[in-house]
Structure 1
């Protein structure tokens, strides 16, 4: 995947948004740039998050799963120390195929990978469940805040 870091990130992000919600279905709950602990010295931001409830009952929502996605455009970006925030039940890194070839042995066993070699995203490695440490209420609130921020930007 050729281009500068900003272009590659934009291309991967657009492909991921399409993958997360291909038909713009309002029943797909997702947000981008979701910040946690924002009023502290150790705020963390997840590039994309999706929530999949079991159903719309109270227990179905409580038992729902969070999917977190981190977009990495280069080996340098992967090693930058920023943005490998795996807060979900299922966590993925989205990167160009050539970057994955270089860093594959550094990716935690439970983290999945989506790769692109210029077009569609392909699931190269499936994520394994990783019990999250944050409650559903906090996760949903932070997603809600991010969506509200995006709405204000328009």
Structure 2
């Protein structure tokens, strides 16, 4: 698969498996610090409210950022380390994770999410990755390394506005 095809595969699976459904709110290509010299962009941002019935349910909600990395050079490109939310994930094929394992250990608090064939153990998949272009397989996004919760750098209102402004 080409880099572009891998990115599309990761996008589709992330949306289908983690971002879609009732009570889930997300946007893609979310621009942060728009209008400044330090404009940054996050591939996907999700807002998870505690509930949608009371004001405090929204106020206590949290944000999750996802950066898609289709290959090792994509990871090293310098783009996509704009993590400012409570939880942050790199989403990548398990083969890329395998290549970057030592480097990713330095990324404190950032989680790793990879596509894995449904019902397959992640350890077995790590040892022997399944090619992503196999069409007869049902895939799911699995967390290989959970993200650590941290304080976000922006207010609830600003991040919701950035998501709304992205228009996606």
Fold-level match, TM-score > 0.5? yes
TM-superposed CA distance for 1:28, in Å, is 1.2
**Unmatched 5+ stretches in structure 1:** none
TM-superposed CA distance for 1:96, in Å, is 0.7
Aligned to 1:36: 32
Aligned to 2:57: 60
TM-superposed CA distance for 1:61, in Å, is 1.3
Contact 1:34 1:143 in 2 (8 A): yes
CA distance, structure 2, for counterparts of residue 41 and residue 104 of structure 1? 33
**Unmatched 5+ stretches in structure 2:** 116-129, 133-138
Q: TM-score, normalised on structure 2? A: 0.80
Q: Which protein shows a greater Rg?
A: 2
Aligned length: 144
Contact 1:45 1:83 in 2 (8 A): yes
1:89-108 map, 5 Å: 89-107=86-104, 108=107
Contact 2:19 2:46 in 1 (8 A): no
Of 142, 145, 149 in structure 2, the residue corresponding to residue 125 of structure 1 is: 145
1:106-117 map, 5 Å: 106-107=103-104, 108-116=107-115, 117=130
Q: TM-score, normalised on structure 1? A: 0.87
CA distance, structure 1, for counterparts of residue 57 and residue 96 of structure 2? 37
TM-superposed CA distance for 1:77, in Å, is 0.2
* Partner SS for 1:120: strand
CA distance, structure 2, for counterparts of residue 73 and residue 91 of structure 1? 17
Aligned to 1:11: 9
Contact 1:20 1:50 in 2 (8 A): no
1:144 aligns with 2:143: no
CA distance, structure 2, for counterparts of residue 133 and residue 68 of structure 1? 12
